[in-house]
Structure 1
């Protein structure tokens, strides 16, 4: 018997477990009224649970959570239950026997219920990766959503999924061209059509024939879609620039029909948002009344969704002189009131962080961010290894510098590093680099993070390695092991092969980050002898668009010409060695007198392209003795933290690197240039003289 079991473990498992029916136990699970009853069944039957029964247990536990309001939801009661570990282990041991749909479903529910189950999630993702080519389009769509929930937007897995979808779409399209049979319209279900449309959105498809075909399938099934699906359809069609008055009219009718009968705040928020992104958005009094009636029940995400929609309507109505703007402004005031009221009632950080996960937008930043920061300060002692990454992510997204919160995050990491999953560290470092902040124990904090990640470098996604290296470079940290992992031919070839699977915007973002990391290492760590290999990339990018001057830059250019003695004494939009772009450049001799460049012209509003003779030439080598090259940069609001005039990391790194190139860097903050103190031309001229020459009035 043991020999048979060793030779045919799968057959033995089938013989042992499949002879008895799964249905009685599943029926018992379905009749459970709470989580404890499910866990009791798991404890009593753990020796005989099949993969279908494991999936059923996951499903029922998640259904219990979905039925609760946001205040009553408590995934910790599931995650921390001793029998959840049993279920966790059963899922791990039985995943190879799960069918594709069961596997991805268990992965999705595990992510929702047990954010700390990193090993199970990793195992499920790995098994799904192994099966990827055979997934049908519905399973593929759900799996891609799971990856998105883990913020693996840059993962080669996402690229592989996009490649599979692309290949399948191309195959279908070829068949259509070769045959009179419209295979796609006959074979795709409503859910498959929706999945294909979302995949085309992810791929930034511009195949108008294919978009039109899928849209016609969606139109045919439109009455059968749920509100969230109608929102996804609307978003995809708008993003793909699809135009059909008939389809959009039908969408509007369905959304308004749902809006009249819905009583669920999150659903009403979805419907209102979908209506707001349709062509010619409009909010009538009935719509405003529906929103006002539901406000006391709304969480922060619902309120933020309403506010985003109302702001879009106000913009449209103002543009076309509609008379409902006053009522919409009053609605905004009510949204402010309920948002502030909700924040002040919070006394549990984990409940708050659930609502902060996806909050963004102008309304939140302007109306609630300050109060949110105050609430986080009040609950700061509850930051621990379980929630530290989400709090860090929120700070990075909002550009709000709170030294108290960042100090607490650093302290938690230093004290509890062994409890933090190494991949979570990737999300903890960005707020420090973005906001240009070193905590009191900065050397220990970054040393611990870097050492902890060193053992896992080979397992990290290539794109994530680049982003990690870039974040650390902003802060002036250049770990040798990390740089060796990135700047080698094998790694770069692997990354290059995976870039083609990313959508164009993400592809370009990764390439820019690699270029900026390459530049930082060359300038700040020449001892590593890493070559500069981005000449062609930079030339291609800067040849495409040389930009234009904004109003403040045009003012500064004219005044610099007067201060320095003529337009031939100042250059605009200069490309330095290693392709830093600076707004204005001038050269002062040893007597602080501006040296002319020679004849050149500039048309205000357009910037000339001005490459140096050598793109890696160090600045001072061709200057007269005692002369100094000056770089002047106008810094708009994006260069500073949202709440205080503290220079952000990227601008600080640029200043540091320009100084290495030999420049004396003068930064002109927007809040100084536009201040009351500099409200006259004379005051601004004196300001420039003081900054350049160190003197006051002429």
Structure 2
């Protein structure tokens, strides 16, 4: 197994000893190693320019280090350590429980610097763990909202050595390590034409053609290629073909959701995959209870994109578990869930009760788009929920300055359609009138007319705005727009 060997207190890059680098030193002159590293490593990350990673060991520094630490020096052309003894020791030290400790330790770190510092203290690191470390670096950077790694991380000798080892010997990686590394690099928006990514993709394709990838591996590879090359990727068809041939019983719930995401990306080919989708929809009924809130939201979104109107039994069952998970959805996940319920026309009194409790408790912290979607759901299904409408009215009074014209309209219109006046109606309409006076010209004409019409339906006609509505400026804005005024509005 290919290893990354790390040593403490080594001068500059000599604290990071890679077996591949030692082999390169034994077989090539120093200048050649400089040339290879410069050619291969520089193009990994197209957005940042930095000096190439040099993998040579300065002879004097190398000699001084080992003499100070009581180590016996070996000629460059001879093995620097007893391979059999070290490998046996390594095999003993990396048992399953040790790997679990390693990954548990990785998950405790909250920055890339902490991960790299931890990696630097290790004696040995197999490729699978190196890929896991790379993935953790990407995860912590992604949580921070950064699209690319900071220059300091890219220039780190430890990080560059991780990438170099993965590029040199991708065939030595396990399926899990290979796909983890590829997935992590894609998250970092690596140049798709870099030698590192091309080597990893080529190795994945070779294993795919040999049929050497398991179901989970196929799902990870499929999603990675979609992000890397788009849904038109030729290899994706082979992945879907192999997934169709697998028994769904061997899929984990997470794999089933990943399969939905892959097919969602190929929505234009839904007719070709409909038979397969019917099978997945029926099987998914048995795994709903095992899905996380995030997975439920993603499955519902895929059903909408794929227009699976025939999967209503699955939607209904998902709806039952949505009720349990409402407090645990993120804003975006909850918005997509409600969007799916609107699309499929799903209505459940238990869902409404749970939604009422959630909105009443957290309305002030909910995202405006989520509140708008909740109001749209109530309006379309004609759900007169006083707890929801009252909470939204309070939110509008306190946060109207943060709302866009379209969001204001989406929050206010349902009051008129449902013919409901909230307890704080005077404050609500004073705030609305102030917003309209201040930002009247920012409202699209059609949106403004719908908004004012809704106010009229609940006995608050826009008397103060009649002059503005029939002004030449406003009428000019209406020209060329198909705006039909109902008899009620006129």
Task: Provide the TM-score with structure 1 as the length reference.
Answer: 0.37
- Between 1 and 2, higher relative CO (CA 8 Å, sep ≥ 6) is seen in 2
Task: Provide the TM-score with structure 2 as the length reference.
Answer: 0.49
